[in-house]
């Protein structure tokens, strides 16, 4: 399965760096963060259209090409835990990295989970892109598991967060998988947000 994705597009390994390193070395304004989020969402939309669940979506697994400083390019990587869906459901179990794992992967209530586990992870990714921080960095794993399972723990959203970005994050990390949007819905919303950002930029230039 991994060979399919490896052959679908050749990536310049010298130009592609992990997202965390890209954040440390470059200033990313709101527009560039939206671009990176959209690219990641497009990649996940494609995976889900092929009935693939990633299971380990996080910023550490995003590769970013910053060669063109005005237009970063982001690709989703590391398909080591990916599974093919069968009958829209996949076998559950402990897969992924704890802070990004959906409650249904941790609560043991079902041996079946849907592709919406990736959407939950994407909500945490949006928070990472926004804050440049690691979620729950100073918390014990036991407390993280308990908080996620009991739905009492989510990353703290900065007070100056864009309202639409906040809304999308909170929808993505909803405790109810049915409430979480699909990646098609996510990409559509990010397009709207990007268009609004560009319009605001043009308005500032005109004044």
Active-site residues, by number, are 56
Task: Put residue 51 in one of left, alpha, beta given phi > 0 → left and psi -120 to 50 → alpha.
Answer: left
Residues forming beta bridges with residue 112, ordered by sequence position: 91
Q: How crowded is the C-beta side of 163, counted as CA atoms within 13 Å?
A: 1
- 156 phi, psi to nearest 5 deg: -75, 125
Q: Provide, for the chain, the percentages of residues in helix, strand and coil under a 3-state DSSP scheme, each rounded to the nearest 5.
A: 50, 10, 40
- Return the structure tokens found at 133: 């921080």
| Nearest one of 113, 112, 99 to 173, comparing CA atoms | 99
> Computed from CA positions of residues 141, 143, 145, 148, in that sequence, does the dihedral angle turn out positive or negative?
negative
d(CA 38, CA 25): 21
Going from the C-alpha of 60 to that of each of 10, 20, 63, 102, the distances in angstroms are 20, 6, 8, 17
- Return the structure tokens found at 149: 């399972």
- Return the structure tokens found at 206: 């005109």
């Amino acid at each position: 399965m991994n060979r399919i994705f490896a052959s679908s597009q050749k990536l310049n390994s010298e130009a592609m760096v992990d997202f965390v390193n890209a954040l440390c070395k470059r200033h990313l304004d709101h527009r560039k963060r939206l671009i990176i989020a959209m690219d990641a969402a497009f990649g996940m939309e494609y995976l889900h259209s092929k009935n693939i669940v990633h299971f380990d979506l996080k910023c550490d697994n995003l590769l970013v090409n910053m060669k063109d400083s005005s237009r970063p390019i982001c690709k989703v990587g590391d398909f080591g835990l990916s599974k093919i869906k069968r009958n829209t459901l996949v076998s559950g179990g402990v897969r992924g990295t704890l802070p990004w794992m959906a409650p249904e992967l941790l609560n043991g209530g079902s041996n079946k989970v849907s592709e919406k586990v990736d959407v939950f992870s994407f909500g945490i990714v949006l928070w990472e892109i926004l804050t440049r921080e690691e979620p729950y960095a100073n918390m014990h794993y036991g407390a993280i598991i308990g908080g996620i399972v009991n739905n009492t723990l989510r990353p703290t959203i900065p007070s100056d967060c864009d309202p639409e970005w906040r809304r999308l994050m909170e929808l993505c990390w909803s405790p109810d998988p049915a409430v979480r949007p699909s990646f098609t819905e996510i990409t559509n919303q990010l397009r709207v947000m990007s268009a609004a950002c560009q319009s605001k930029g043009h308005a500032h230039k005109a004044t």
